[in-house]
Structure 1
């Protein structure tokens, strides 16, 4: 999501090869192999499909190209159906802290909400969130609420 693979393929208008994606995403050349492995994982999980593009300039066979699927189309920024802010919010450290402590919350008899339990045992256990972090989280929730309305 943050990398913008779905956006790059959408803006390209057709499936993209690994080298085209690496160029469009402005990746460091040493990271192209990692991108390939990442795309294999995302393809396996149904976020992208692989197709072969027609051979060019005397090549024997076409390269593998990556195309969008219905789930990845939901991550394209700027569309009314974009769920990227919601996914980003679900993966935010504050949200994860809450779910990481859910077993403890369900098994103990305390007068706390699940969110309070998460804050007590997670990222903010030693100090309150910084104002910068709070502002970031506030903006994030505004985006989440906007995309779900």
Structure 2
């Protein structure tokens, strides 16, 4: 049985992260770290690394970036993977909900209509212009699901 530190992380998982970190270094990624929060996401990468390019004297830019998600066993991977058919069905449901919310908000707030259509009943509302928490949650979940389905990633 593998040793478990106080963080709940196994020794095997720590070794995988170290291997990813060493691989990144060997590939020329000079800036790297463990448990890095990804921008515009609620996820933390096990390892993230980037190359530091020098386009000119005294100039440094972030170059290629690599993100690693380490899995020590197939069940860990499958646990993070979503079944595609189930995810596609949920995405369709969320898109229907988003369309319904846009239609209803457009009815209740005619000033939010975008003016893209000749007929008001076909015009979409700019729901983002108001603080509609339900709409924001739906759009956020759509973004996460689309990333998981089409990008084949949980990020």
TM-score (normalised: structure 1): 0.24
The structure where strand makes up a greater share of residues is 2
The structure where helix makes up a greater share of residues is 1
